[in-house]
Chains A and B, each alone.
Chain A
Amino acid sequence: MRALWGLAGIAAVIGCSIVAAVGLENGEKRSGFDFMTPETQALQADDTSNPGMLWVLQGEQLWQQPEDSANIACAGCHGDAAQTMRGVAARYPAFDEATRRPIDLAGRINSCRGVKQQAEPMAPDSDELLALTTYVAHQSRGMPITPAADSRLEPFRDKGRRLFQSRIGQLDLSCAACHDDNWGRRLGGSVIPQAHPNGYPLYRLEWQGVGSLQRRLRNCMIGVRAEPFAFGAPEFVDLELYLMERARGLPMETPAVRP
C-alpha cells in the first residue's frame, strides 16, 4: 500500500515538473534584440541614429515643462530624472493605492498629471505621453527587470498569466502557442521572438514611430483575428505584469528598435 502511495507521489512530482516545464526556462531567456538582423540591431545600439531617441529628447523637454493649473513640472517634484527615475520602469507595473489595482508607467504618469499637476490626462499613445514614458523608462536602460515583490499584485499577475495562455481569435492561438512553444521558428518571413516587454516604449519600424506595449499587444490580437482590448484596459496591465515577471532579469532596452 505504501509503495502505491510512493508511486503516486513520484507520478505527481513528474506531472508537476512537466507542467512547470511549459514556458521559458531561465537559461534560455533572450531579448527580442537577439532575433533581429544585424542592421536593425545596429540601429538600436547607436544613440545617434536610434529614432526612438527623438522621443527621449522630447520627453526630456516635457519633463522640465510646468503644467498649466498647478504650474509645476515633473522636475518640480522629481528633480533630475536620471537619479529619481532610475530603476522605476524595471519594476513596473506597481500597485496603485488609489485604484487598488496594478498601474503601468503611462498610467502612473497620467495619474500624477491629474492629481499633482491638475492637468488633463494625455491621450493613450499620444506623442507627448509616449515621449514622457520613453524618457522615464530610458532611465532604467541596462538595468535588469526586477518586478516589485508586492503580494497584492499576485492575483492580477495570475490573471495576466491566464490571459497569456488562453487561445483567442479566429486563428484560435494563445500568446504561449507562438512565444513559449515556437520562439526561434518562423512565422511568414519573420523569426518569432520570445515576446518580452523589455524595450518598451519602442520604435517599431512598421509604425515608423514610437509606440507602447499596449499598441503592440493590440497588433498581436489583430494578428490572430481577435477583437483587441481597448487602450488602458485592465487586461493589458495584468498581461504586462505577467510579461515583466516572465522577463525577469533581462536588461531594459528602452527605446528599443523592432521590426
Chain B
Amino acid sequence: MARALINVPKTARRGEIVEIRAMIAHPMETGYRMGTNGANIPRDIIRRFACAYDGEEVFSADLFPAVSANPFIAFTLVATASGTITFAWTDDSGETQTASADITVS
C-alpha cells in the first residue's frame, strides 16, 4: 500500500454523487531546483493519477511539475455498485503505487 490518505465514504445510495479525496506522499521534484554545488536536482514527479471503479477507469489526471508536493486531488463519482475503488499513481520512471477503499452502495 502506498503512503497515501484516501477519503471515500463508506456507504452511499445508488446514483448519489460522492466526493473522493486522494493524497499521496511524494516530493514532486520539479527538476528546476538547484541542489548543492549548483547541480540541478533531477525531475521526479508523479505524472499520472487514475481511479478505477466498478470495472473501468472513471477519473484520471495528468500531473506536471506545477502540482504541489504530496499531491492532493479531490473529485466526484457517481455511486453505482458496491465494491472496491482503486487508485494508482504512476511516476516518471513508470513505477506505480496503488491504494484502494471499499464502498457499499445500497
Contact = CB atoms under 8 A, between A and B. Distances in A.
Interface in A55-108: 55, 57-58
Interface residues of A, number: 10
B23 A51 contact: yes
A55 to B, nearest CB: 8
A242 to B, nearest CB: 32
A55 B28 CA distance: 16
A208 B68 contact: yes
Contacts of B23: 48-49, 51, 54
A256 B24 CA distance: 18
Contacts of B5: 48, 53-54, 57
A255 B19 CA distance: 24
B70 A54 contact: yes
A48 B7 contact: yes
Contact of A49 (B4, B21, B27, B69): B21
A209 interface: yes
Contacts, number: 34
Interface residues on B, range: 10 to 19
Interface string B55-99: 000000000000011101010000000000000000000000000
A58 B7 CA distance: 17
B3 interface: yes
Interface in B19-54: 21, 23-25, 27-28
A51 B72 contact: yes
Interface in A23-69: 48-49, 51, 53-55, 57-58
A208 B70 contact: yes
Contacts of A57: 3, 5
A173 to B, nearest CB: 28
Given A48-B21, A55-B25, 17 more contacts: A48-B5, A48-B7, A48-B23, A49-B21, A49-B72, A49-B74, A51-B70, A54-B3, A54-B4, A54-B23, A58-B3, A208-B68, A208-B69, A208-B70, A209-B27, A209-B69, A209-B70
6 contacts: A48-B23, A51-B23, A51-B69, A54-B23, A57-B3, A208-B69
